[in-house]
Amino acid sequence: MSLESSVAYITSADADNTSFGTGFTIDQDGGYSYILTCAHVVRKAIGKSGKVKVNGVIAEEVAIGSLDQADDLAVLRVKELFGVPLSRRVNAGLGSKFTSIGYQRVMAAGMAKSLIKRQLQGTLDELTDQQIVGQSFQTKLWALKIEGSFVPEPGYSGAPIIQEGYVIGVLSMVDKGQYFAVSIEALSRILPESLYVPFTNREDELKLILSSSAPAYYLLDAPSGYGKSTLLGEVQKRFSEQKWCCGYLILDKPLELDELARALAEKMCISNFLSNSNNAQDAGFRLGRALRTPWDTSKEGIVLLFDFDKEFSNFELLEKLLKQFIPQIEESLKSIAPFDQGDNRFRVIIAGRYLCSSYNRLSTQPLPIIPRLQYLAPFKYDVIQNSARLYLKNQRDRLTKEIAHHILYITGGHPGCMAQVLQVYEKSGMPPETFVNLQSDFIWKEIVKPVVKAIADEFPTTLGVHKLMQKNVLRYMDYTALKNLAEILEIAAEWDTIEFDEFHLSDILTGAALLSWNNKLLHDDITRRLVCLGLRNDSNDEFVQLCQTAQTICKERLRDMYNPNPEKWVLEYLFQFLQRHALLIGNAEQRRALRNIFISKELPKVLQWLYNGRIEQEQRRYLLDSIKEDWEFMFTVNYFLRDTEYNDDPGNELISGVNPAM
């Protein structure tokens, strides 16, 4: 099922252009599929509109080979997920067997022509090199010896040539009755750059989900920018490699259950096994029957992936999935192996925003299945730096590090924003410092600000939650700090029907996945950084005042002798000091002056508050451990207080100030 679902048909967006061809998925990221096909297929299908479609969805051209040349390949990008990316390899042997699958147009009796998929087999006959006119390189072509009487027609162009599960070429042309395939190695010629910025920070979550003993059902919850779609794509890829049957569906609008069943059946290429019914209540049973009818006993199991889009309320659909659809599929599959063994061979993963909040509302009533709730952690600096290195693979390591820290600062670490900025930077050809100085205003207005606004628009509007989230600059809070902040922001005034309660407010914040508990502190990460970017860029005077207010709260928590973790408030006080001086780091001279104040005045003052009335040696150890664990604090220290280049010198000076013996 995975191969068939990964092969797509390419058509024109023009109704009067009947050209078509075949393509197949080679990569996926963030809800997009990258489709490899032939360049001549794309050129013939473009037509008057200048657009082509993949499986009926408008696509954009990413790369294309030379006109009427042997490097006859093109890559399309489409906002849909078609099957699983097919693996590729360059090596293949003469005389070895291959298989392929592509589209043909057929005429049924009394019916209009339709496109169908046809398979073919054969052997690799000969490998030749063909010079590309005007270029210094050659492209390798495989001659194909096709078995049987089936003769591929033009629509088969772009079909994958597969050997031992790997794509080794793309069917491209016919010459004097002989069929040829472009070797897959030609793809690196037309597409030398990475298709997207690869953010990889989900190994812990992947290990949990892919484990043989993992729960059958997961809800993955995280704000925008945490890489939910990318994670689901990787889950799909890993499960497919382990011979699981996968269905991945992006839910960008409300669907009835029968519509959901049809969409999944189409994705998994089992539509012809799905029976029709006007009763949406049995949609899960019908899909389960369709899944088991053509069941391939070599498969290990079935995993369904649902990617909830941000554009619609997901509560009602989540309720239908958990109460009806998923339990019905599970019950239907129990009649065949391996689903009758009770070892979680049928799995479902649902990802989206505020899912845990929706589930908490649902869990007040009995549910037939109990999913595991999984919050996604934000990206850390080392992941951001590594991702930049993978994307900018032709740049020196020093420049990669330099642009990585600039991008983290100006985007708040939002992966989507960072990806766009990296792509703009790569095309600019500028040195990192020059790029940031010249493009920072454009980056804020065109890339980051729309994301900040979209996130702010989603904050709940009840009980002052939106006001708190739009004005909070603290990285973490306890109950006392939350109460103090609520009083300062006059949030209690919005609790007019009930008495303000900081414990109830914290429950609302955690239930909506806006804040999470970590070491007895309420934490926030990307959301808060984006809010701070908005304040810093559009309301700087207010931002400075909020940072000063946050410092006051930190000072009070630090000097409270009953506070169980005063060292955390040392770091937060110093962090807020740096934040409020964000406009004073534009050049090396300003940064040196700020560094002098930070090390010689602010640090000794806050250490005195920490040690007063406490065991100094003990508190010093706790503080040093916290400094080493807090990557965002150390990044901020090194970025704000750097001399000319970003390095660890400011952080090391801070550590020496805490512990002179080091």
Instruction: Kindly tell me if the per-residue pLDDT of 214 is higher than 50.
Output: yes
Q: What is the pLDDT of residue 261?
A: 93
pLDDT band at 561 (very low <50, low <70, confident <90, very high): very high
Q: What is the pLDDT of residue 268?
A: 87
Are 2-190 and 203-375 equal in CATH topology?
no
Say which range, 182-191, 491-500, 567-576, 652-661, has the weakest mean pLDDT. 491-500
Instruction: Kindly tell me if the per-residue pLDDT of 354 is higher than 90.
Output: no
Question: For residues 580 and 552, is the Cβ–Cβ distance under 8 A?
Answer: no
561-584: b (≥16 Cβ within 10 Å) or e: eebeebbbbbbbbbbbbbbbbbee
Extents of the domains making up the chain: 2-190, 203-375, 395-457, 460-538, 562-662
Average pLDDT of every residue of the chain = 88
* pLDDT tens sequence across 532-560: 999 999 999 999 999 999 999 999 999 99
Return d(Cα 371, Cα 354) in angstroms, integer: 15
Q: What is the pLDDT of residue 503?
A: 92
pLDDT band at 563 (very low <50, low <70, confident <90, very high): very high
Instruction: Kindly tell me if the per-residue pLDDT of 114 is higher than 80.
Output: no
Q: What are phi and psi of 171, to 5 degrees?
A: -60, 125
Return d(Cα 222, Cα 229) in angstroms, integer: 11
Say which range, 127-136, 150-159, 251-260, has the weakest mean pLDDT. 127-136
Please give the share of the chain, as a percent, with pLDDT higher than 90.
50
The C-alpha angle with vertex 192 and arms to 190 and 197, in degrees rounded to 5, equals 125
Say which range, 113-117, 497-501, 536-540, has the weakest mean pLDDT. 113-117
**Partners of 256 in the β-ladder:** none
pLDDT band at 111 (very low <50, low <70, confident <90, very high): very low
| Helix residue ranges per DSSP H, 392-448 | 397-411, 415-428, 432-442
| Backbone angle region of 605, left / alpha / beta, with phi > 0 → left and psi within -120 to 50 → alpha | alpha
Return d(Cα 230, Cα 227) in angstroms, integer: 5
Q: Return the residue matching tokens 């390419």.
A: 10
Q: What are phi and psi of 518, to 5 degrees?
A: -155, 115
**Hey, what CATH topology would domain 2-190 get?**
Thrombin, subunit H (2.40.10)
- Which pTM does this prediction carry? 0.75
Please give the share of the chain, as a percent, with pLDDT higher than 70.
95
Say which range, 10-19, 236-245, 372-381, has the weakest mean pLDDT. 372-381
Question: For residues 655 and 624, is the Cβ–Cβ distance under 8 A?
Answer: yes
Q: What is the pLDDT of residue 452?
A: 92
Instruction: Kindly tell me if the per-residue pLDDT of 57 is higher than 80.
Output: yes
Mean pLDDT of 652-658: 96
Residue 146: how many CA atoms within 13 Å on its side-chain side?
18
Mean pLDDT of 615-638: 95
Instruction: Kindly tell me if the per-residue pLDDT of 383 is higher than 60.
Output: yes
Residue 504: how many CA atoms within 13 Å on its side-chain side?
9
Q: What are phi and psi of 129, to 5 degrees?
A: -105, 135
Please state, as a whole number, how many other Cβ atoms lie within 10 Å of the Cβ of residue 344. 16
**Partners of 549 in the β-ladder:** none
Residues 6+ apart with CB under 8 A from 136: none
Structure tokens at 235: 């889950």
Q: What is the pLDDT of residue 520?
A: 82
Higher pLDDT, 92 or 162: 162
Instruction: Kindly tell me if the per-residue pLDDT of 325 is higher than 50.
Output: yes
Identify the helix (H) or strand (E) that includes residue 229: helix 228-241
Question: For residues 21 and 153, is the Cβ–Cβ distance under 8 A?
Answer: no
* pLDDT tens sequence across 428-469: 989 999 999 999 999 999 999 998 998 888 788 888 899 999
Mean pLDDT of 127-144: 80
* pLDDT tens sequence across 278-298: 676 799 999 999 999 888 888
Mean pLDDT of 363-389: 82
* pLDDT tens sequence across 584-617: 998 999 999 999 999 999 999 999 999 999 999 9
Most confident of the following: 156-165, 262-271, 541-550: 541-550
Instruction: Kindly tell me if the per-residue pLDDT of 659 is higher than 80.
Output: yes
pLDDT band at 377 (very low <50, low <70, confident <90, very high): confident
Return d(Cα 373, Cα 220) in angstroms, integer: 6
Structure tokens at 483: 């109460």
Return d(Cα 172, Cα 570) in angstroms, integer: 65
Most confident of the following: 16-30, 142-156, 239-253, 624-638: 624-638
Of the candidates 31, 8, 11, which has an alpha carbon nearest to the alpha carbon of residue 20?
11
Q: What is the pLDDT of residue 201?
A: 60
Return d(Cα 583, Cα 580) in angstroms, integer: 8
**Hey, what CATH topology would domain 203-375 get?**
Rossmann fold (3.40.50)
Cα distances (angstroms) measured from residue 343 to each of 196, 211, 332: 37, 12, 15
**Partners of 160 in the β-ladder:** 170
First CA to last CA across the chain, in angstroms?
61
Most confident of the following: 72-76, 364-368, 371-375, 394-398: 72-76
